[in-house]
Amino acid sequence: MLTWESIQTLVTEGNLAPDKRQIKTGAQWKSLLPEDVYYVTRNAGTERPFSSPMCTHFEAGIYACVCCDTLLFDSTVKFDSGTGWPSFTQPIKENAIAYYLDDSLDRSRIEITCNSCDAHLGHVFPDGPAPSKLRYCVNALSLQRKT
């Protein structure tokens, strides 16, 4: 199980190798993705809070990267954080997500991206429920639910 300490180590010492890599140019991604999905996933954008019904849907399933179909999260670790974005406590595999220091605001955060295609997903915080106490705060536009 990943912990805040292990994530901080990945940020400073490097991410785990992904199972596969999907590399495309910006123009290729732009031609494949709707404008709002491109903005979030390729430009590190953020959708408005509470803009997606995915926040309150808890059906069984797996959540994959909307860009490359890499499996990212299982619905069994999804929870209602009340923040306005889908939230999870753990990725489906430790190497599914990459972690980077994000100093774009007035405080440091840890950005999460798809480790296969570098799509921006959101951020991870150390204020989730036990046992991991992690909250992966994810843009719904970066995810697709698989049944």
Would you name the residues annotated as active-site residues? 137
Distance CA 62, CA 80 (A): 16
Hey, is 11 helix, strand or coil?
Answer: helix
Q: Are 134 and 3 in contact (CB under 8 A)?
A: yes
Q: Is 56 exposed, middle or buried (0-12, 13-18, 19+ CB in 10 A)?
A: exposed
